[in-house]
Structure 1
């Protein structure tokens, strides 16, 4: 189970994301980026953060530590923004926090080069979880202490918004042509060889066990939280076996070439040739 803390001070909202996460201080003296059950897609976003964050960490990727955060909306009474006030009021109880990385910078390909092996691991992982939100437009990557960190996995596993498409989701290809790390020649084949065997039923069962029961109750079509957890295990296990063969990097398979800007492709190609 994830560690649990209680929010004691609401510091400031983060307006980069559509879900309006906020920075909070907790009773363990830690500072966290808090995501709220009352925002956007609600608890499904938080479930995705738990599954992908815990799975990524088990695969050796750098993802900020996660905690369960208990929220009393009263801590935001002094917040002048009405939108934030309403969000806090709608999110009383259990929410999710990610360890705040002070001094981290948003990933900039002009300032930080990524090796082919690491890029391959990230692209393969994003293909596994169906991440549609790590493009050059919105990398959801941070650089902290000279290393690459993965954040914001709320827009993953789209299939859990409509479980009826589960079978198709397991076999769905992944177009990484606009992925933030596509210009760094990701070695997807090596990543698949290294990571796919590590995606076992036992590993996935341990990962989904970290999802709080209250975020899985009343899921249409399921008897209870245990059945929902099993569905996550099944689709990820099946997807891991073949997704490495279904990743497109480079020319788009459907709608033409990548829309990444010329300056990014030219710069990376130039660096690769030096």
Structure 2
């Protein structure tokens, strides 16, 4: 189970995120980025953060530590923004905190480099979880102490918003043409050879066990939180075995032209000629 802390002070909202996460301090003297159950995306965003963040860590990728975070809405009384006040009021109880990385910079592919091996691991992982939110438009990567850190996995596993589609999602292709690391020549084949064997039933069962019961109750089509956890395991286990062969990199077809900006297209072409 994830460690649990209590929020003691709301510091400031992070308006870059669509769900309006906030920086908070907690009773363990730590500082966290808090994501709220009362946000518009709902509790499934937090489930995705727990499952994907925990899986990434177990596969050796760098992600901020996660904690269960209790919130008393009273800490937002002094907040002048009515939108933030409403969010805090709607989020009393258990929420999710991510370790705040002070001084981290947003990843800029023009300013920072990574190698084909690391790029391949990130692309393969994003393909596994169906991440639609690691594009050049919105990288959701940080550079901290010179290393890449993965953040914001709320827009993943889209199939868990409609469980009847989950079985088909296991074999769905992943178009990485617009992925922020596509220009670094990601070695997806090597990443799959390394990571796919690690995604075992035992590893996935351990990962989904971190999701609190209260975020899984009353899920349509399921009688118990453990049944929902098992559904996550089944889809991800099946997908891990095949996803490496279903990743598309580079330019899209003539019917679906790439939206990659010119600077990234130039880098892709240069990499292809090497």
TM class by shorter chain equals over 0.9
The answer to whether the Cα contact below 8 Å between 2:116 and 2:184 also exists between their aligned partners in 1 is yes
How far apart in 1 are the matches of 2:76 and 2:255? 45
Q: Which residue of 2 aligns with 1:148?
A: 148
Cα deviation for residue 251 of structure 1 reads 2.1
Q: Which residue of 2 aligns with 1:175?
A: 175
TM-score when scaled to structure 2? 0.97
Q: Which residue of 2 aligns with 1:99?
A: 99
The answer to whether the Cα contact below 8 Å between 1:250 and 1:257 also exists between their aligned partners in 2 is no
How far apart in 2 are the matches of 1:114 and 1:124? 15
Alignment of 1:161 onto 2:161: yes
The answer to whether the Cα contact below 8 Å between 1:110 and 1:267 also exists between their aligned partners in 2 is no
Q: Which residue of 2 aligns with 1:135?
A: 135
Structure 1 spans left out of the alignment, 5+ residues: none
The answer to whether the Cα contact below 8 Å between 1:175 and 1:253 also exists between their aligned partners in 2 is no
TM-score when scaled to structure 1? 0.97
Cα deviation for residue 264 of structure 1 reads 2.7
How far apart in 2 are the matches of 1:191 and 1:100? 28
RMSD of Structure 2 on Structure 1 (CA): 1.5
Structure 2 spans left out of the alignment, 5+ residues: none
SS in 2 for 1:251: coil
The answer to whether the Cα contact below 8 Å between 1:176 and 1:247 also exists between their aligned partners in 2 is yes
Q: Which residue of 2 aligns with 1:68?
A: 68
Per-residue CA shift, 1:62-84, capped at 9, x if unaligned?
A: 00000000000000100000000
The answer to whether the Cα contact below 8 Å between 2:46 and 2:96 also exists between their aligned partners in 1 is yes
How far apart in 2 are the matches of 1:37 and 1:110? 35
Cα deviation for residue 265 of structure 1 reads 3.1
Q: Which residue of 1 aligns with 2:119?
A: 119
How far apart in 2 are the matches of 1:208 and 1:252? 34
How far apart in 1 are the matches of 2:153 and 2:266? 29
The answer to whether the Cα contact below 8 Å between 1:175 and 1:248 also exists between their aligned partners in 2 is yes
Per-residue CA shift, 1:223-266, capped at 9, x if unaligned?
A: 11010000000000000000000000012258433211112332
SS in 1 for 2:170: helix
Cα deviation for residue 108 of structure 1 reads 0.5
How far apart in 1 are the matches of 2:26 and 2:254? 47
**Which deviates the most, 106-115 or 247-256?**
247-256
How far apart in 1 are the matches of 2:248 and 2:157? 18
Q: Which residue of 2 aligns with 1:56?
A: 56
Cα deviation for residue 268 of structure 1 reads 6.3
Cα deviation for residue 166 of structure 1 reads 1.3
Cα deviation for residue 272 of structure 1 reads 8.9
Matches within 5 A, 1:145-224: 145-224=145-224
The answer to whether the Cα contact below 8 Å between 2:183 and 2:267 also exists between their aligned partners in 1 is no
The answer to whether the Cα contact below 8 Å between 2:31 and 2:100 also exists between their aligned partners in 1 is yes
Cα deviation for residue 273 of structure 1 reads 7.9
Matches within 5 A, 1:8-23: 8-23=8-23
Aligned residues: 274
SS in 2 for 1:75: helix
Cα deviation for residue 179 of structure 1 reads 0.4
